[in-house]
Amino acid sequence: MTRDPALTARLLVLLAGGGVAAWLIVLNFGALGAVAWRAEGLTALRGADWAAVRFTLIQALWSAALSVLLAIPIARALARRRFIGRGALIMLMGAPFILPTLVAVLGLLAVFGRAGLVNQGLEGLGFGRLNIFGLQGVVLAHVFYNLPLATRILLQGWATIPAERFRLGATLGFGPRENFRQLEWPMLRELVPGAFLVIFLICLTSFSVALTMGGGPRATTVELAIYQAFRFDFDMGRAAMLALVQFGLCACAGLLAWRVSLPSGLGSGMDRPVQRFDTGTLSLRLWDGALIVAGALFLLVPLALVALRGLPHVAGLPPEVWQAAGRSLLVALGATGVTLAMTLALAHAVIAVGPGRGAMLEWLGLAALAASPLVIGTGLYLLIRPFGNPRDFALVVTMLVNAGMALPFALRLILPGLREVVVSQGRLADSLGLHGWVRLRIVTLPRLRRSLGFAAGLTAALSMGDLGVIMLFAEREGATLPMQLYRLMTAYRLDDAAGTALVLLGSSLALFWLFDAWGRRFADA
Amino acid sequence: MTRPLYVTIAAMTLAGAAQADTLTVLAPDYFGSSWGPGPAIKEGFEAQCDCTVEFRTGDVLPRLMLDGARLEGDVIIGLGTDELLRARDTGLFTDHQQDLTCLSLPVEWADDIFIPFNWSHVAFVYDTTRLETPPGSFAELVERDDISLIWQDPRSSGAGLALLLWVDQLYGDDAQAIWENLAAKTVTVTAGWSEAYGMFTNGEADMVLSYTTSPAYHIMAEDDDTKAAAIFEEGHYFIAEAAGVLAGAAQPDLARDFMAYILSDEFQQMIATANWSYPSALPRDEWPEVFRDLPLPETAIFLSEDEADARRSPALAHWLEGMTR
């Protein structure tokens, strides 16, 4: 047994990181392999499948590009402005991302749909109706869903620009334009490819939203084709083949984003609060104000309509809805703990094994984004079957799968911060002989607090609204909140369903806010 | 005559064992909620079987296919007519051994394996305050250009598949042109029923693909008589949900008793309002009043499993061609 604490710590990191990597391999490739094995081989794709691949790529490219392009000016405006309620606004603007898709779509349609606010306004003014359904609808829904994520990722980026740089810029007479070129652009150059990739991958596996907003089978995505292969054609081989294609797309996108992304080289500062000197002219203020208002309206009005629709029915909800809320809360908290532990282990391992192999691990962490939930659910079911009744593990599996699904986001949020800590504090910590748990507690975690809080909030909220694999596994433990929502709708109880949607929205937001506020307590967005 | 003690004990033990018997029923998720049909069925059967009914809810057909012979349970309830062939082909079921002459369906049903417990037709449901003159036939629906529709994708929804086969039966090889026509009035196609119905009630379309029995819920539970199903003179596609006994049942006798219970008056009286559909073995004049008063299509269109299986792929090809043209 070695007595060198540095070596012990390194071994522990590799062990834990290896464990997480093994779980991700099982989750992503083991499940797919199990489906392919059960199908006794892969089936060739048909013409319609390739049409689905084409549509999936087109809508995902548009959605990711627009989300990121719109997020840049909004995040920039939010980063350089201080106003009352800014924190709450940033928190609320994150909400669409954590909504269950069904709720998000109904909220969006209440604004942009045939009977929505926009069309009522247009008709009132004597204009024709706007048709939202089609590629434009798919992209609109995906931007609504992902703009919050992109904005938050970029806001974090702005927060990593050391205060000293802005101070230095101010002494050199930098205006907004010079600040952008010298300070903000390098940061964007580092973060935008990653943000684009994550959103691209999220949109790649879209299914119900794409079909509903796309107006029909022209908007068939790969995930819907997988669903069709499972449920209509009963052809697991084709499902596995389609899932492989989905992975292939993910790998190409990942490779591309990795090639484009450049380290910002901004270095580190003394962790002072950022003070901006380029908030200048009235026209710039008005411009930023207009951007923030427009972004907030786009993201918040649909949510407000969901809330208004549900509010009168919350008090009369059946007790089972509240029980389900409690159960979902447990799953969400469990998934959050598992995700943070897994992410920290993986992130440390990525840094420990060096750039080349680290990139492989990082890619593995992202791969779950491109995995088909349907394939994962079915595959895990087949994998667990030889060892017992999969349904006895429903909540645990749900928790682990949710953690695997949230890990890509958490990793993206935590890894840059951890690299920063290693670069800026690593040598000092080494020379002080800080290793292992002590180093994690004293040096690393306090510095990661902001991204940890955000990652935890995101994971908790995402798990809360996830329907995911539980429908196949659930049997005895009872329903989660999203399941109750669907049960109520299936039973025509649309008012109760609206109330439940509000409970879901409220509890997801509350969880998100709690963790995020914890993370930001000593930091400024 | 006094019985030896051990006989008494044995008899008591047997009685005790019988009391502890559990009938395991696999069912779709909606059976699990207090507002679904599950609780009433459990209470009703437990009152007469001297046993405990345990529902295991979740996706039924995928579990049948993934678990195969390892599936634990006695009875499966809630399989849609579009799923029966697949379920039958697993070979996991055994005869229900019930006399089906009591069935009151609008179609022939002679099946040793599956017993239907409720039924309805698919239909386009509309809001009487928004659509004053609903089409009286499918042909009229096709001709009208003032109606917007929302319906479900046949690849992911049972109702959507029923619509696919409905159009296929009415129009055969001309179906592609019909789909092209319908595509022009279609607001959107959703993956499941919930999305479509939710969008319809929010005013996104004039009509939504649902069931002839859907208005009953609004009338009885919400006191709202503005929802109605448009009845088409060509007839409507029939759908039902069925139950079957698993060959590997641990409680085969209880399972068959449960099958008999499904056909009993008590169950049949209850199922209409528990599941918002017509009872399968109850004459129309004994239905709840609201159901009796619903307009009933004159013709029920229904394909046998094998016919439906043979038609679904060519029909889907017409659909895809027509809808994406």
pLDDT band at A1 (very low <50, low <70, confident <90, very high): very low
Is the per-residue pLDDT at A261 higher than 70? no
What are the chain A neighbours of B276 within 8 Å (beta carbons)? 491-492
pLDDT band at B154 (very low <50, low <70, confident <90, very high): very high
Q: What is the mean pLDDT of residues A378-400?
A: 79
What are the chain A neighbours of B206 within 8 Å (beta carbons)? none
- Count of residues making up chain A: 525
What are the chain B neighbours of A493 within 8 Å (beta carbons)? 35, 221
**Whole-prediction pTM:** 0.86
Q: Is-same-fold flag (A1-41+315-525; A53-98+130-264+272-308)?
A: yes
Q: What is the mean pLDDT of residues B168-196?
A: 93
Residue of A nearest to B216 (CA): A492
Q: Do B204 and A113 touch (CB under 8 A)?
A: yes
Is the per-residue pLDDT at A500 higher than 80? yes
Residue range B5-119+239-293, CATH number: 3.40.190.10
Highest mean pLDDT among A85-99, A349-363, B262-276: B262-276
What are the chain A neighbours of B63 within 8 Å (beta carbons)? 472
Give the residue among A410, A446, A428, A419 at the shortest CA–CA distance from A351. A419
Mean pLDDT rounded to a whole number for chain B = 90
Q: pLDDT over 70 for what percent of chain B?
A: 94
Q: Where exactly are the structural domains of chain B?
A: 5-119+239-293, 121-238+299-324
pLDDT band at A331 (very low <50, low <70, confident <90, very high): confident
- Any chain B CB within 8 A of the CB of A212? yes
The beta-carbon neighbor of A216 closest among B36, B186, B221 is B186
* Residue from B56, B152, B189 whose CB has the most chain A CBs within 10 Å, to mutate: B189
Is the per-residue pLDDT at B153 higher than 70? yes
The beta-carbon neighbor of A106 closest among B33, B148, B198 is B198
| C-alpha span between A415 and B28 (Å, rounded) | 42
Cα separations (Å) of A517 from A78, A195, A452, A455, B297? 17, 23, 11, 12, 59
Q: Where exactly are the structural domains of chain A?
A: 1-41+315-525, 53-98+130-264+272-308
What local confidence, expressed as pLDDT, does residue B16 receive? 46
What local confidence, expressed as pLDDT, does residue B2 receive? 46
What local confidence, expressed as pLDDT, does residue B138 receive? 95
Q: Which A residues in the span 103-132 are in contact with B, Cβ-Cβ below 8 Å? A: 105-106, 109-110, 113-115
CB pairs under 8 A between A and B: 155
CA distance B226 to chain A (A): 15
Residues of chain B by 3-state class (helix, strand, coil), percent to 5:
50, 20, 30
Mean pLDDT rounded to a whole number for chain A = 82
CATH of A53-98+130-264+272-308, one of 1.20.1050.10, 3.40.980.10, 1.10.3720.10, 3.30.70.260: 1.10.3720.10
Q: What is the mean pLDDT of residues A294-308?
A: 91
Task: Return the CATH architecture of domain B121-238+299-324.
Answer: 3-Layer(aba) Sandwich (3.40)
pLDDT band at A468 (very low <50, low <70, confident <90, very high): low
Ranking A226-240, B171-185, B256-270 by mean pLDDT, the lowest is A226-240
CA distance between the termini of chain B: 87
Task: Return the CATH architecture of domain A1-41+315-525.
Answer: Orthogonal Bundle (1.10)
State which H helix or E strand residue B134 sits in. none
Q: What is the pLDDT of residues A115-160, one digit of tens each?
A: 888 888 888 888 877 888 889 999 999 999 899 889 988 888 888 7
Cα separations (Å) of A442 from A421, B29, B150? 12, 48, 58
Give the residue among B272, B283, B278, B275 at the shortest CA–CA distance from B295. B278
Q: Which B residues in the span 171-190 are in contact with A, Cβ-Cβ below 8 Å? A: 183, 186-190
Mention every residue, 6+ apart, whose C-beta is less than 8 A from residue A127: none
Is the per-residue pLDDT at A522 higher than 70? no
The beta-carbon neighbor of A227 closest among B156, B187, B197 is B156
Is the per-residue pLDDT at B93 higher than 80? yes
CA distance A492 to chain B (A): 7
What local confidence, expressed as pLDDT, does residue A216 receive? 85
Is the per-residue pLDDT at B19 higher than 70? no
Q: What is the mean pLDDT of residues A447-463?
A: 85
- Any chain A CB within 8 A of the CB of B129? no
- Give the pair of three-digit tokens for residue B186: 């279609």
Is the per-residue pLDDT at A263 higher than 60? no
CA atoms in the 13 A half-sphere facing the CB of A362: 25
Q: Is-same-fold flag (B5-119+239-293; B121-238+299-324)?
A: yes
CA atoms in the 13 A half-sphere facing the CB of A182: 15
- Give the pair of three-digit tokens for residue A110: 């209440």
Which of the two residues, B168 and A21, has the higher pLDDT score?
A: B168
Which of the two residues, A522 and B151, has the higher pLDDT score?
A: B151
Q: What angle in degrees, to the nearest 10, is found between the helix axes of A236-260 and A373-384?
A: 120
Q: What is the pLDDT of residues A96-106, one digit of tens each?
A: 887 777 788 88
Amino acid at B298: E
Within 10 A of A456 (CB to CB), how many other CB atoms are there? 26
pLDDT band at B13 (very low <50, low <70, confident <90, very high): very low
This model of the complex carries an ipTM of: 0.83
The beta-carbon neighbor of A133 closest among B57, B62, B187 is B187
Which of the two residues, B174 and A180, has the higher pLDDT score?
A: B174
Query: Which alpha helices (H) appear in A232-354, and where do they start and end?
Result: 236-260, 282-314, 319-352
Q: Do A102 and B198 touch (CB under 8 A)?
A: yes
| C-alpha span between A436 and A438 (Å, rounded) | 6
Q: What is the mean pLDDT of residues B40-62?
A: 90
Is the per-residue pLDDT at A44 higher than 90? no
Ranking A279-283, A382-386, B20-24, B199-203 by mean pLDDT, the lowest is A279-283
